[in-house]
């Protein structure tokens, strides 16, 4: 599911990204904490990030998973590194990411997204 999410982010299309998030969802990012109770609120938070990626020449983004923990039948934690690449294939940047996923009626959704420093392994 997260690999499909990263493919959606690579399109830079807000509407392609929104279905991967649970309602409500929480984002903890360097700029602060954002709670979205609806996809409309989430779109308001995600749009500037995707526009920033577009302005910086993002070509694709991918996730390198470092750890997955199944907490219950409906909750799991995934930790990894988001790597972003320019259109020419050069690395643009990377960020540590932690996802708290909830298994909803229609599959796994992102309930909490935390962007953080990349942890050394």
Is the link from the previous residue into 32 a cis peptide, with omega within 30 of 0?
no
Residue 86 inside a domain? The answer is yes
Residue 16, classified by CB atoms within 10 Å of its CB into exposed (0-12), middle (13-18) or buried (19+), is middle
Summarize pLDDT for 41-98 with one digit per residue, the tens. 999 999 999 999 999 999 999 999 999 999 999 999 999 999 999 999 999 999 999 9
The enclosing domain of 53 has a CATH number of 3.10.450.50
pLDDT of residue 31: 87
Q: Which domain holds residue 20?
A: 2-116
Instruction: Enter the tokens of residue 35.
Output: 């709670």
């Amino acid at each position: 599911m997260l690999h499909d999410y990263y493919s959606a982010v690579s399109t830079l299309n807000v509407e392609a990204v929104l279905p991967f998030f649970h309602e409500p969802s929480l984002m903890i990012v360097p700029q602060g904490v954002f709670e979205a109770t609806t996809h409309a609120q989430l779109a308001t938070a995600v749009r500037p990030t995707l526009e920033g990626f577009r302005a910086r020449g993002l070509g694709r983004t991918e996730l390198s998973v470092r750890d997955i923990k199944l907490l219950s039948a409906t909750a799991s934690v995934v930790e990894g590194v988001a790597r972003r690449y320019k259109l020419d294939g050069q690395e643009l940047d990377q960020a540590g990411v932690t996802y708290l996923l909830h298994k909803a009626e229609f599959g796994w959704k992102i309930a909490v997204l935390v962007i953080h420093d990349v942890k050394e392994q």
